[in-house]
Amino acid sequence: MHRLGLVFLLAASTAWAGEYAVLASGSRLHVDRHEADGAKVRLYHDGGFVEMDASQVKSFEAEELSAPAAAPAPAQHPVPVEAPKQMTPEELADAAADRYSLPRALVRSVMSTESASQADAVSPKGAIGLMQLMPETAAELGVDPHDPVQNVDAGARYLRSLLEKYHGGLWHALAAYNAGPGAVDKYRGVPPYRETIQYIKRVQSKMEMAGIEPRP
């Protein structure tokens, strides 16, 4: 009976406040309290006790109570942020136009002429997306042409740089956007390419439909 009680105490949880009985063997038992009775000692724990020879207990040590561990702070969940509304092609064009101080109708017209305002449009020559960026042009501008926001922004930025290059000459800038600055520089103006000439006319027509009279 005593042996079973001793084993129980050895395995008992140390979560309870009390004291430690230091046995002659060097083992320490966590108990609630003890009572000495002549040559015997009773070690109480969890509503029961075990009795043993007092010679088996070397000493008793008070348990040092540590402050209870602080309860873990509640997880800080970020305040839900409403996902930004997916912008329409026209909204992308307007935002880019405003960013680079371009007429909204111009950027919308170029985008419509280039890709019919389709993000997944790919030309036979490999131009990508809404404003039809060639991969090498996109790389030079540091953007992902498959991302609609980056694509339209870069297209408007490129168009703005062409207008600056040709001192505000819209036809020159549009021709360079379509055929490349090299062709415009070679012919010192709009190159005699049927595709480029038709391209400028389509952009002009779309701008006029928007109520803007473009100037060469």
Measure the CA dihedral 105/107/109/115, to 10°.
Answer: -150
Closest of 110, 2, 97 to residue 49, by C-alpha: 2
pTM (2 d.p.): 0.61
114 is catalytic: yes
Residue 212 banded pLDDT, cuts 50, 70, 90: confident
CA distance 60 to 36: 12
CB-based contacts of 45-54 (< 8 A; 24+ apart in sequence): 45/8, 45/9, 45/12, 45/16, 45/18, 46/12, 46/16, 48/5, 48/8, 49/5, 50/2, 50/5, 50/6, 50/8, 50/9, 51/2, 51/5, 52/2, 52/6
Q: Which amino acid is at 179?
A: A
| Start and end residues for every CATH 1.10.530.10 domain found in the chain | 89-209
Q: How far is the C-alpha of 195 from the C-alpha of 191, rounded, in Å? A: 10
Q: What is the mean pLDDT of the chain?
A: 82
Q: How confident is the model at residue 117 (pLDDT cuts 50, 70, 90)?
A: very high
Cβ(156)–Cβ(131) under 8 Å? yes
CA dihedral (174, 180, 184, 186) in degrees, to 10, reads -170
Write out the residue limits of the CATH 2.30.30 domain(s) in the chain: 2-62
Can you name the CATH fold of 89-209?
Lysozyme (1.10.530)
Residue 57, pLDDT > 60, answer yes
Distance, in Å, from the CA atom of 23 to the CA atom of 45, rounded to the nearest integer, reads 16
Task: State the DSSP H helix or E strand holding residue 29, giving kind and residue range, or none if neither.
Answer: strand 28-31
Write down the catalytic residue from 82, 91, 114, 140: 114
Q: Please give the order of strands across the beta sheet that includes 19-23.
A: 28-31, 19-23, 57-62
| pLDDT band with cut points at 50, 70 and 90 for residue 17 | low
210 class by beta-carbon count within 10 Å (0-12 exposed, 13-18 middle, 19+ buried): middle
As its CATH architecture, domain 2-62 has: Roll (2.30)
pLDDT of 216 above 50: yes
Query: With b meaning 16 or more CB within 10 Å and e meaning fewer, what string describes 108-118?
Result: bbbbbbbbebe
Region 104-118: what's the mean pLDDT?
A: 97
